[in-house]
Amino acid sequence: MDVKSKILIIGGTGNIGKYLVEASAKAGHPTFALVRESTISDPKRAAIIESFKSLGVIFLHGDLHNHQQLVNAIKQVDIVISAVGGDLVAHQVKIIEAIKEAGNIKRFLPSEFGVDVDRANAVEPAASLNRTKVEIRRAIEAEGIPYTYLVSNGFAGYLNYILNNFGDSFSASPPRDKIVILGDGNPKVVFTKEEDIAAYTIKAADDPRTLNKSVYITPPANTLSYNEIVSLWEKKIGKTLEKIYVPGDEVLKKIQEASMPLKLLLSLAYTFFVKGEIANFEIKASFGMEATELYPDVKYTTLDEYLIQFVSN
């Protein structure tokens, strides 16, 4: 019987982190989560901490700013996956330093979970976040640390928020009368359910084929234009929506006027929906591989299936 690699997830109680912890544990990996002591006792985190405990997750106390705690945690595992939030992306240099000192890590997956930052041309403030992620990539490579970069593209969990014009309406389901579309709605975008992103990530983390490569999650049934996603929704509710198209220059103006975090989300949306920077290049074997081709055994949720949950809301 194969011995499963030990996986440490940093940022495991966060937006994508909790799915990674669960996927790792369910895949049979000895799974470790780096958590602050204050997180363990935080009432707001109680449910997620209990769910981790029920899965047999091992908690290691520490944070990014305590070098020795990081080194001690990393020495106990084979693979490190970072799922830290955007404000901590630059701080991953501390993980790199600790991995270098520990000297035992077979693979490091930095916090990416978005577009391919080496190929997407974003506008501010997304451009700054992408540059920071690029700097982390180059630092990993410079230290000779074995890596996999996980390009998840869009999270399906944000889809309802996006279809509701980025929170203009706090509806529990997509619009049923009129809908706002950024740009002309034609560039292809990709949205995948977070559980599926996590399943692909855990498989890629321990796969010899993905060593020092980028892994792209672009499920064919989920690689659609915004117009095609709206069409799927229209078929679900049996109604044609009024469509309001917002030209690219107006989107840029909205980005300038918005405050954070909407400013960041709109700049990402401009990159996705107006410029089409997700699916506008060929994934070549020299730098990357596609997750659904690597792991056909993962039965991902299609966007058509995902939208069903909103019909009765």
Q: Which residues are catalytic?
A: 133
The H-or-E segment that residue 154 falls in is strand 154-155
Upstream peptide bond of 110 is cis (omega within 30 degrees of 0) = no
**CB distance 175 to 169 below 8 Å:** yes
Distance from the Cα of residue 212 to its chain's centroid: 19
Cβ atoms of residues 114 and 191 within 8 Å: no
- The residues facing 81 across adjacent strands are 9, 109
Check: CB of residue 37 under 8 Å from CB of residue 110.
Answer: no
**Of the candidates 300, 285, 280, 298, which has an alpha carbon nearest to the alpha carbon of residue 210?**
285
For residues 161 and 310, is the Cβ–Cβ distance under 8 A?
no
The dihedral built from the CA positions of residue 48, 53, 55 and 60, taken in this order, carries a sign that is: positive
Classify the C-alpha dihedral 80-85-86-88 as positive or negative.
negative
Q: How far is CA 1 from CA 4, 32, 266, in A?
A: 9, 21, 48
Structure tokens at 139: 């630092």
Residue 33 · residue 12 · CB < 8 Å: yes
Matching residue, tokens 């064919």: 220
Q: Between 46-54 and 17-26, two packed helices, what is the crossing angle to 10 degrees?
A: 20
